[in-house]
């Protein structure tokens, strides 16, 4: 398996533009998580899905952020409009709910810079 | 609620020194415990895990023992290498589907 695949690896955009981050989870995993990592706040869970259904989006910072999972092999995180304070590394992770002793598999992340 | 507290960094060691990174947890129920490592420019990778009390997780020379009596899961390595320079995250997971991460400890190993 190629692991969790995120694209793009780097994104530089101007304030006010729409940004879409993409994630392909590991085949067979039924949970998908979006995290944001910054120096100030560390790792923050934004939202997670189970079987393509959003379960908890309480970590989404504001309405400018939205996430979808149209099928088991694809998810997007969208920011519209983007702001400089959204600059961070965004990670996608997936997991199989076989038992709580499973960890998550993380993608390599998307480094977002909003100028 | 569930939480993880790990020692603040950064930690700087000379090559071949002994490493300890402290991690304590608070949890209801019986969590599984993990150490993740993040190398520069990369995502988090699972380093080791332990699923019940007294279990020892080990990988790449790193070890951590699940101590229920002290609610701890300290990471140790007997002889660090320059290639171990990274950020290390302690984490716990209970029946709910969320990993609770510590704030991370940056380790720098100098030759």
The DSSP secondary-structure symbol of A81 reads: S
Q: Which structure tokens are listed for A62?
A: 């504001």
Contacts of B31 in chain A (CB under 8 A): 100
- Chain A residues within 8 angstroms (CB to CB) of chain B: 4, 31, 42-43, 45, 48, 50, 55-56, 91, 93, 95, 97, 100-109
Mean pLDDT throughout B13-32? 93
> B2, B28, B41, B43: best mutation site toward chain A, by most A Cβ within 10 Å?
B43
Supply the pLDDT for residue A1.
64
Residue range A71-100: mean pLDDT, rounded: 90
- Give the C-alpha separation, A94 to B44, whole Å: 12
Identify whether the C-beta of residue B79 lies closer than 8 Å to the C-beta of residue B13. no
Mean residue pLDDT of chain A comes to 92
- pLDDT for the residue numbered B85: 97
Q: pLDDT (tens digit, 9 = 90+) per residue, A45-79?
A: 999 999 999 999 999 988 999 999 999 999 999 99
A42–B103 C-beta distance less than 8 A: yes
């Amino acid at each position: 398996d190629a692991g969790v695949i995120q694209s793009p690896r780097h994104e530089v955009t101007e304030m006010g533009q729409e940004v879409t981050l993409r994630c392909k989870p590991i085949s067979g995993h039924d949970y998908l998580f979006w995290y944001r990592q910054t120096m100030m706040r560390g790792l923050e869970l934004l939202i997670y899905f189970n079987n393509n259904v959003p379960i908890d989006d309480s970590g989404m910072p504001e309405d400018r952020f939205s996430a979808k999972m149209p099928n088991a092999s694809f998810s997007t995180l969208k920011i519209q409009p983007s702001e400089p304070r959204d600059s961070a590394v965004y990670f996608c992770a997936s997991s199989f709910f076989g038992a709580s002793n499973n960890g998550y598999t993380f993608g390599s992340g998307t480094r977002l810079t909003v100028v | 609620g569930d939480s993880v507290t790990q020692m603040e960094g950064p930690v700087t060691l000379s090559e071949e020194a002994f490493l300890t990174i402290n991690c304590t947890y608070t949890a209801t129920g019986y969590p599984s415990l993990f150490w993740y490592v993040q190398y520069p420019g990369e995502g988090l990778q699972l380093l080791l895990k332990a699923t019940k009390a007294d279990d020892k997780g080990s990988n790449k020379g790193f070890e951590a023992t699940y101590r229920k009596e002290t609610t701890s899961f300290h990471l140790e390595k007997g002889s660090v290498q320059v290639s171990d320079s990274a950020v290390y995250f302690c984490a716990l997971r209970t029946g709910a589907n969320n990993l609770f991460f510590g704030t991370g400890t940056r380790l720098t190993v100098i030759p």
